[in-house]
Structure 1
Amino acid sequence: MLGPRPTVAGSAETHHAPLTAPGATRAMEAVLERVLEDRLRQARDTDAVFSREMAERVAAFVRRGGKRLRTAFVWCGWRAAGGSGDAGAVLSTGAALELLQACALIHDDVMDGSPLRRGAAAVHVDFARDHPAGQAGGSAGPFGTSAAVLAGDLALAWADDLLTETALTSPHGQRLHEEWRAMRTEMVAGQYRDLRAQASGSSGAEEALTIAVLKSARYTVARPLALGAALAGADARTVGALRAAGRCAGLAFQLRDDLLGAFGDPALTGKPADEDLRSRKLTPLLAAAVRLAEATGDRDAAAVLAPDAEARPGHTVDRMRAALERTGARAEVEARIADLAATGLRHFEATGAATGVRREFAALVERASGLAPRHAEELV
């Protein structure tokens, strides 16, 4: 049986608009901390070993942070749709998104075999290090993988519980839950298409775009905006403008992430910089490079970017990076990021949101897409 929605003194129940997006994010952190403490108490009541080794690990991973962009986009969607007054449901929805993000990252690292996340060992690696040796033994790797799957499942359960509790206390709870349900399905669909593309060695631009939209663009920006709008009881016109803005801004975010995956500094990103290239993960960046290499007759680039290139001597990650540069794919993706960000801002303006909210959305898009601040003043 579900309990009451967590009460957070000085936070969810007492915050009233106008909060700023950064202020909403800070307030969400307080909500999230109270939720984690509540879930850890439940875990201790369930089983001491489970609590110590599983639940506390999940809570520690969530607390290690991340960009917390989704909470800010929920807030922007709520404010753009005229949300005001008690922001408790908005903050709780943001906290639920952070728990869902923990599930997605833990499972994603298992599927990709990633050793690092958020500047520390990935959860499956951390579990493997603490493999409980015994007579039966067994391998640390499979233990870590299986335990991490369960850890991701636990984060998902916590997220779903919190969202359901929030929906049950909101006059717009049904719309909120419908958005949440659609988002979860899109996440799984995008992850499966990603796995399938890697297995088939696909390099098609259309498939790369489909994966980027399903796996990231909707989940990172479009659905959070819609979740916030749902809590404000938004009309169809506003929701449509927010969806369009979110798709563009979300794609800009994903394209930046692709560039960071190929050229980023692990000290800044908290994850390996060459992982996507070594695995030949299908991204719009890779698809663009393959297309441009074929169009210009750059056989060396086409060969080094091919799905089976890793099996051939000399086809290193450095050569892949050089091919991404030489073909013009990196420059093309940079230009597309700027175009998508600008288009997203225009769609958001169509909501009729107040100037302050539009400025904050512009700042969030610039942060998510890695662009230098230059758009916010255009929205005044």
Structure 2
Amino acid sequence: MTIPPLERAGLRPRVDKALSGFLATAREHLLEIDSALAGVADTVSAFVLGGGKRLRPAFAYWGFRGAGGPDSDEVVAAVSALELVQASALIHDDLMDRSDTRRGEPSVHRRFEVLHTAEGWRGGAAGFGDSAAVLLGDLAMVWSDELLHTSGMGLAELARARPVFDRMRTEVTVGQYLDVLTQATGDTSLERAGKVARFKSAKYTVERPLLLGAALAGAGPEILASYTAFGLPLGEAFQMRDDVLGVFGDPVQTGKPAGDDLREGKRTYLVAAAFGALGEAGRAELDAALGDPGLDDAGVERLRAIIRDSGALAATEARIDTLNTEALTALAEAPIDDEARAVLRALADAATRRTV
């Protein structure tokens, strides 16, 4: 029986174990400050451990192994820090998008809004929820640093990894800002959509994790270049798949309401392709409804039809296939361990052919 790529080397449960141990210790530290922080620790723990594909630690781990790094619990702990960066990004993303749910559960700002109401506290419940989400997202980012540096990896390995980790976190943060800026300006160009996808998700999901693993292993420039040639197109394909699911995905599988990306006015490659293919009337209709938070189910279906009939969905699927082929070609030529190559190929399929 073929072992799923995320389960190879027992990676997923090992990542969860590393996160659980770290978060348990972090909880103790918070309780030393004030018992009121139990809810903070428990919410971050539930968010981090309650789901997620663990793709980023997987790419980092197999990037490490592909570059000749030996398996150890220490390297698993180090790459698990990426899940705390992801938690920070998602908590803030849900707040900025005013999303009510994440993975089928209330988003963090909604959880604290409900808590405020239930306890009958003073002030506005929504404002309290928003403030809590900002701070919990920041805390998860701080903890990502702490987990990396307490992972047990040597000082030399951490010194090599640090610039990659820092650059990655900068890129995902400014990528998020470019996403917000693009919605505000209404930019519908493919160039802008591609740049947002590249920095908000593509580099941060695949390329930088691969390079982080490679840095921990002390990889040379040839492997680093190969990982970039593989990781960048694959990361863009991953984000485009995410964009397709954001419009056409099944809420039962995605854990988010249908059409949320349309209500939020996301200017994705899919949407940019539609604007480029539509006539004046179609562009006006799409532009008028995109970003309307009150868009009902019928409105969502109408926009889906406009996007599908424009040929944008087919064009995006074709672009995903092209990028995936480019990535796999680079992977085939990479001077890395054959086991890692096989797992990275399977991870590429998991990233681009998923339904959640």
Normalised to the residue count of structure 1, the TM-score between the two structures is 0.86
Task: Give me the whole-angstrom Cα distance separating, in 1, the residues matched to 2:288 and 2:85.
Answer: 32
* Stretches of structure 2 lacking an aligned partner (at least 5 in a row): 1-5
Alignment of 1:252-267 (within 5 A): 252-267=237-252
Q: Which residue of 2 aligns with 1:57?
A: 43
What is the CA-CA distance between 1:134 and the residue it aligns to? 7.8
The DSSP-based 3-state class of the residue aligned with 1:131 is helix
Secondary structure of the structure 1 residue equivalent to 2:127? helix
Please show how residues 181-196 of structure 1 align to structure 2 within 5 Å.
Answer: 181-196=166-181
Q: 2:34 aligns with which of 47, 51, 72?
A: 47
Change (3 A) 1:236 1:310: closer
Partner of 1:99: 84
Partner of 1:149: 134
1:117 alignment partner AA: R
Please tell me whether the aligned partners of residues 270 and 313 of structure 2 are also in contact (alpha carbons under 8 angstroms): yes
Counterpart Cα distance in 1 of 2:354 and 2:15:
26
For 1:162, the equivalent position in structure 2 comes to 147
Aligned to 1:248: 233
CA shift at 1:355, angstroms?
2.9
1:26 is the counterpart of 2:13: yes
Whether 1:37 aligns to 2:24 is yes
Aligned-pair distance for 1:21?
A: 3.6
Counterpart CA distance in 2 for 1:92 and 1:101 is: 15
Identity of aligned residues (%): 42
Distance in 1 (alpha carbons) for counterparts of 2:289 and 2:313: 22
Q: How many Å apart are 1:234 and its aligned residue?
A: 0.4
Residue 306 of structure 1 pairs with residue 287 of structure 2 = yes
Q: What does residue 316 of structure 2 align with?
A: 333
Count residues with an aligned counterpart: 348
Taking the aligned partners of 1:343 and 1:21, their CA distance within structure 2 comes to 24
Instruction: Please say if 1:71 is aligned against 2:54.
Output: no
Q: Is the 8 A contact 2:331 2:345 kept in 1?
A: no
Q: Work out the CA distance in 1 between the residues paired with 2:354 and 2:146.
A: 36
Could you say which residue in structure 2 is the equivalent of 1:140?
125
Instruction: Give the structure 1 partner of residue 101 of structure 2.
Output: 116
The answer to whether the 8 A contact 1:205-1:288 is kept is yes
4+ runs deviating over 6 angstroms: 133-136, 310-315
Instruction: Output one character per residue of 1:125-173: Cα deviation in whole Å (capped at 9) or x when no partner.
Output: 0100000678872111111000111111111111111123348734222
CA contact (8 A) 2:289 2:295 kept: no
Question: Where does residue 15 of structure 1 map in the other structure?
Answer: none
- Amino acid across the alignment from 2:174: A
Following the alignment from structure 1 to structure 2, what is the Cα–Cα distance between the partners of residues 158 and 58?
A: 10
- In the alignment, the residues of structure 1 paired with residue 291 and residue 60 of structure 2 have an alpha-carbon distance, to the nearest angstrom, of 41
From the superposition, tell whether residues 70 and 309 of structure 1 become closer, same or farther in structure 2 (CA, over 3 Å). Answer: closer
Contact 1:21–1:72 (Cα < 8 Å) also in 2: no
Matched ranges for 1:341-352 at <5 A:
341-352=324-335
1:320-375, CA deviations, whole angstroms, 9 ceiling, x for partnerless residues?
10111111110111111111112111112222223322221111111110169xxx
User: Which whole-Å CA distance do the structure 2 matches of 1:285 and 1:66 have between them?
Assistant: 24
Decide which of 240, 249, 254 is 1:269's aligned counterpart.
Answer: 254
Whether the aligned pair in 1 keeps the contact of 2:263 and 2:295 (CA below 8 Å) is no
RMSD: 2.3
CA distance in 1: counterparts of 2:227 and 2:65, whole angstroms: 11
Tell me the distance in 1 between the aligned counterparts of 2:340 and 2:187.
Answer: 41
After superposition, residues 260-299 of structure 1 pair within 5 angstroms as 260-293=245-278, 298-299=279-280
Alignment of 1:217-228 (within 5 A): 217-228=202-213
* CA shift in 2, pair 1:133/1:271, >3 Å: closer
User: In structure 2, do the counterparts of structure 1 residues 301 and 152 end up closer, same or farther at CA, with 3 Å as the change threshold?
Assistant: same
Superposition TM-score, scaled by structure 2 size: 0.92
Deviation string for 1:278-330 (max 9, x for gaps)?
Answer: 2221101100110111xxxx334212221566679999221210111111110
Distance change in 2, residues 1:176/1:207 (3 Å): same
